[in-house]
Amino acid sequence: MTEPTFRFRNVAVTAHPHVAEAAPEAAQISAFLNEQGISATHGLLYDELLRRRIRAGEFDLLIALGGDGTMLRAGHLAAPLGIPILGINMGHFGFLMEIQQNNWRSALPRLMEGNFWLEKHMMLISEQWRSDEKMGSWLVLNEVCVSRGQIIRPIQMTAHVDDVFLTTYVADALIAATPTGSTAYALASGGPILPPELRNILLVAVAPHLSVDRAIVLAEGASVNIIVHTDHQAVLSVDGQVPIGLADGDRVTARASEHSALFVRFQDAGYFYRNLTSHMNQNPTIGMHR
């Protein structure tokens, strides 16, 4: 838990572009803050002009309207700059969000009074290597996932921890997750739940075939290397984004980033466990696509 030592003066209010109510709500929040003497600007999360202004350091708070996916994208944008994020839930699950859509008018005065704390979430830096060439690098809030593609055949993956051989997996996928991501795909794959203040990497295999079938919690500061061995399609996905093709012999690395995502919290530190039990067996997305 980190107590705030400042007041916010310049705020960016971003809305998920595919949530119909998000943009009008963002405009209302921006107007409300401006009335209180805080400089606020609103726009869509993927608006490039607004993103450039955020990267330029014009804002000291990012308010994100949407669901958990919105918080992931906001984390990628704000964490390198140390900008705190306040999540307002307009999605379906909202496990990472702090307040609900109809509660922001009562919550924002607490923000202006400094009645909040900042929760620090570990992030990863992940890289894809092909021989000695780095193909890409990504900031990660939830998980790095190396998996099979559309062909329904497992892939073989060799895992090393701190350059020491760990094991070889034959599985549909191998997930390297943060504590934040332990409640996402890793949880659905049978992994343990880690509280967000930890700084460990969680390794979870998806549908392992005659391989290690238990999740492994790595020590703080550990690094992971996953080498792909396959003669068919394999892909890399970071925080659920568009998959990237992997070739036989490609190496995917994951280690703690120097950046952390800062989430604004009004609730006490026990909120995590209360939310956890209330969300279990009550997934609001069930039945949505019938």
Residue with tokens 């939310």: 275
Query: Which residues are part of the catalytic machinery?
Result: 68
Cα 24 versus chain centre, distance: 25
Number of other CB atoms surrounding residue 151 within 10 Å: 11
How far apart, in whole angstroms, are the C-alpha atoms of residue 88 and residue 99? 5
Q: Which of 160, 139, 118, 84 is nearest to 257 (CA)?
A: 139
Contact 213, 167 (CB under 8 A): no
Contact 269, 186 (CB under 8 A): no
Three-class DSSP labels, 51-67: HHHHHCCCCCEEEEEEC
Contact 13, 25 (CB under 8 A): no
Contacts of 206 (CB under 8 A, 6+ apart): 147, 171, 172, 173, 174, 175, 189
Contact 266, 115 (CB under 8 A): yes
Report the relative pairing of strands 85-89 and 133-140 from DSSP bridges. unpaired
